[in-house]
Amino acid sequence: MKKIYIDTLERGKSYPDRFPVNTDSVGIELVGKNTGEKSYEPVTALQQSSLQWLISELNTLFGLKVEDVFRHPEVSYKNEGEAASATWK
């Protein structure tokens, strides 16, 4: 029940005063193996390069700032280790 309340509360706010929601977000998936309970293999150099290129293009296309890009665990109930080695800032 707590998650639903928080979601409803956040959806009532305007961006950037709330966390992004699925209806106004783009998800980027970096695939890697789970190496433990809360860890994943590091992002490869090719994944990192592709991620930086894609985020740069999206920032330009939509007029976004670095502050508009979030790692999934920062805005959702996900494993903190997911894509922990990915960088774009």
What would the pLDDT profile of 18-77 be if each residue is shown by its tens digit?
877 777 788 888 888 888 877 888 889 999 999 999 999 999 999 988 888 888 777 776
**Is pLDDT above 60 for 78?**
yes
CA end-to-end span of the chain: 35
Rounded Cα distance between 43 and 39, Å, is 12
For residue 1, the model assigns a pLDDT of 53
How deeply is 87 buried, as exposed, middle or buried, from its count of CB atoms within 10 A (0-12, 13-18, 19+)? exposed
